[in-house]
Amino acid sequence: MAYRPCTTAEADIGMRYYMCDTGGTGGRIKAFAEDFVVDEISSYPPEKEGEYVIARVTSTNWETNRMVRMMSRSMGISRERIGFAGTKDKRAVTSQLMSFKCSPEVVSKINLKDLDIKVVGRSARPMRIGDLIGNSFRIKVRECDVPGDEIARICEAVRSELGDRGGFPNYFGIQRFGTIRPITHRVGEALVRGNTEEAVRIYLSAPSEFEDETVTEARERLADGDYSEIVKDMPKNMDFERTLAQHLSENPGDYAGAISSLPSNLQMMFTHAYQSYIFNMMLSERMTRGLPLDMPIEGDTVIPKDADGIPLHEKPVKVTGKNIDLAMKQVRTGRAFVAITIFGSDSTFSEGEMGDIERKVMDSERIKAEDFLVVGLPNCSSKGSSREILCPIGDLGVTVDDDGYTASFSLPKGNYATCVMREFMKSNMTHF
C-alpha cells in the first residue's frame, strides 16, 4: 500500500507519512486555549476513604509539570506528593483527576489563576502515570486555506478514509518533543550517548524562533555558561532551566547532578522522547515499504487488548508462519493490535522484515539497546516497551462553521489528538 508523504518539518521528528490521500484544509489549532478542550476518561474511581485526596483539576494554559510545581508551592508540600495519570497539552483547557497526599484543607490552599480544583473523593493509593482509559477532545481549526464548502468536502473525505483504514498512523505527536522548541528528543539522545554536558547545553540554550525575546536572550547568556549571574534574571516560565542553572552555579561541571535535580518524570521524558523519535522512524520505514498497519506479517508482534480496549503490553505474541492466521483474525476483529518495539535496554530485534527495519533505524542512529541503561541517571534509563502502530478513533465528528470547523473524538490513552488533526489539516507542525 502506498501512503501520502509528508513534506513539512514533521519529518524531522520521524513523521514522514499521512494515512489519508485527501488534501488538507490548512489552518491552525490552539489560536485560543479554548480551541483545544481535553477531558480525561478515567479508570480511577474515587473512594470514600484513604490517605490520598482525589480532585478534579480543570486548567487553562498550564503545562502539567509547571502546574504541579506551583500547586506544591501553594500547599507547602513536596511535588512528589501530587499524582496524575498523564501530562496534558499546555495551550488548552484540560480536565483531569489528580491525587494529593495531604488533607482537603491543604488542597484548598491552592489559589492559582486559571485553575479550578474540586475534591471528589479519596483513595488508598496515589494516581500514577497510566491510570486512565483515554481522553476525549474538542478541537477548533481556524484560518483554513480553503472556503467552507471545500472544508466540508475535505473533512468528510478524511473522516471516511480514517474509518475505512481503521484509524491513523500512531506516531508520537509533536507535543512529545516540544511544540515551540522540539528538542526534548535531542536532550534524550545526548543522555543515552552518555554526554550529560551536551544534554544540559541543549536544554538550556538551544534556541527557537517561536520563543519571545526575553527567553531568547536568556538562552544566549546560558550558552555562555554565565549561570550564577543569570539565575536571578531568568523569565518566570523558565523554571526548569533555572533549576539546572542554579545547580551548576553551586556545583560547576556537575552535569549529571544538574539533570538529577529536575523532577523525576521530566528526566524520564527526555529518554522517552528519543525512544519516540526512533519509534516514529521505524513506523515511517514500515510505511515506506508499503507494509500494512492494520494487519500483521510474519515477524511482527501482536498485542491483545482488554475489555476497555487498552493494550496488554505484558502479553505480546510473536507472529510466525504457524499462528499468523489466528493473529490476523484477532487483529481483524479488534481484539489485538499490531505493535512496534519502543527500544530500551531489555529490547530485542523482531524477526522478518520488521526486524530488518528495526536494525536499519538503530544502525542509522548508531545506538544499541543497552545504551538505554543510562549510568548514574536511573530516571533516564528505560527498559523499553511496545506501541500499537494504528490507533482507532472513537466517535469522530466534524462541524463546519463560519470560522472553520470543530472536530470531536476520543482516543485511547497515550495517543495524540494532533496526529488525528494533521490528517485533516496537513499544515506545518508549528500550526499545532
In the chain, what percentage of residues exceed pLDDT 90? 81
Q: pLDDT confidence of 307, banded at 50, 70, 90?
A: confident
pLDDT in tens, 115-132: 999 999 999 999 998 888
Contact 409, 423 (CB under 8 A): no
- As a whole number of angstroms, the distance between CA 58 and CA 63 comes to 12
**pLDDT tens sequence across 138-154:** 999 999 999 989 999 99
pLDDT at position 306 is: 86
Contact 379, 263 (CB under 8 A): no
With bands split at pLDDT 50, 70 and 90, how would you rate the model's confidence at 297? very high
Backbone dihedral region of 240: left (phi > 0), alpha (psi from -120 to 50 degrees) or beta?
Answer: alpha
Q: Is residue 89 flagged as an active site residue?
A: yes
Q: Tell me, what's the pLDDT at 308? A: 76
Question: Phi and psi dihedrals of 138, rounded to 5?
Answer: -135, 110
CA distance 127 to 332: 34
**Cα 198 from chain centroid (whole Å):** 23
For position 20, what pLDDT does the model report? 96
pLDDT beyond 80 at 432? no
Residue 214: pLDDT band by 50, 70, 90 thresholds? very high
pLDDT mean over 40-48: 84
* Matching CATH number, 183-262, of 3.50.50.60, 3.30.365.10, 1.10.1510.30, 3.40.50.720: 1.10.1510.30
Provide the terminal-to-terminal Cα distance of the chain, rounded to the nearest Å.
28
Q: Which carries the bigger pLDDT value, residue 11 or residue 359? A: 359
Residue 44 φ then ψ, to 5°: -125, 75
User: Could you tell me which residues are beta bridge partners of residue 398?
Assistant: 407
pLDDT for 189 beyond 80 = yes
167 torsion bin: left (phi>0), alpha (psi -120 to 50), beta (else):
left
A 10 A CB-CB count for 18 gives: 23
Q: Using CA atoms, how far apart are residues 107 and 412, in angstroms rounded to an integer?
A: 30
Among 126-130, 158-162, 371-375, the least confident range: 126-130
Check residue 168 and give its pLDDT: 98
Q: Please tell me the predicted confidence (pLDDT) of residue 428.
A: 81
Could you write out the DSSP letters of every residue in 164-233? HHTSEE----GGGT-SSS--HHHHHHHHHTT-HHHHHHHHHH---TTS-HHHHHHHHHHHTT-HHHHGGG
Eight-state DSSP code of residue 295: S
Q: At 397, is the pLDDT very low, low, confident or very high (cuts 50, 70, 90)? A: very high
pLDDT at 86 over 90: no
Helix (H, G, I), strand (E, B) or coil at 409: strand
pLDDT in tens, 87-98: 888 889 999 999
CA 387 → CA 9, 183, 207, 413, 418, distances in Å?
23, 22, 31, 11, 17
| Lowest mean pLDDT across 82-91, 250-259, 402-411 | 82-91
Over residues 54-79, the pLDDT tens digits come to 999 999 999 888 899 999 999 999 99
pLDDT per position as a tens digit, 232-248: 888 988 989 999 999 99
What percent of the chain has pLDDT above 70? 100
Q: Does the pLDDT at position 190 exceed 90?
A: yes
Q: What is the mean pLDDT of residues 29-34?
A: 94
Answer yes or no: CATH 3.90.76.10 is held by domain 44-130: no
What are residue 301's phi and psi, to 5 degrees?
Answer: -110, 135
Could you give the 3-state DSSP secondary structure of residue 35? helix
What does the pLDDT read at residue 10? 84
What is the average pLDDT across 418-422?
96
Of 112, 151, 238, 188, whose CA–CA distance to 380 is shortest? 188
**Does the pTM exceed 0.85?**
yes
Return the pLDDT at 47: 85
Q: Which residue has the cell 508540600?
A: 77
Burial class (CB in 10 A: 0-12, 13-18, 19+), 2: exposed
pLDDT of residue 157: 98
Q: Quick one: pLDDT at residue 35?
A: 97
Spot the catalytic one: 35, 89, 131, 300: 89
Enter the CATH code of domain 272-388: 3.30.2350.20
Query: What is the identity of the amino acid at 169?
Result: P
- Domain limits, the chain: 4-32+135-170+392-425, 44-130, 183-262, 272-388
CA 59, distance to chain mean position in Å, is 18
338 φ/ψ angles, rounded to the nearest 5 degrees? -80, 135
Beta strands in 356-421, from DSSP E residues, in sequence order = 385-388, 390-391, 394-401, 404-412
Please check whether residue 305 is in contact with residue 311, taking contact to mean a CB–CB distance below 8 angstroms.
Answer: yes
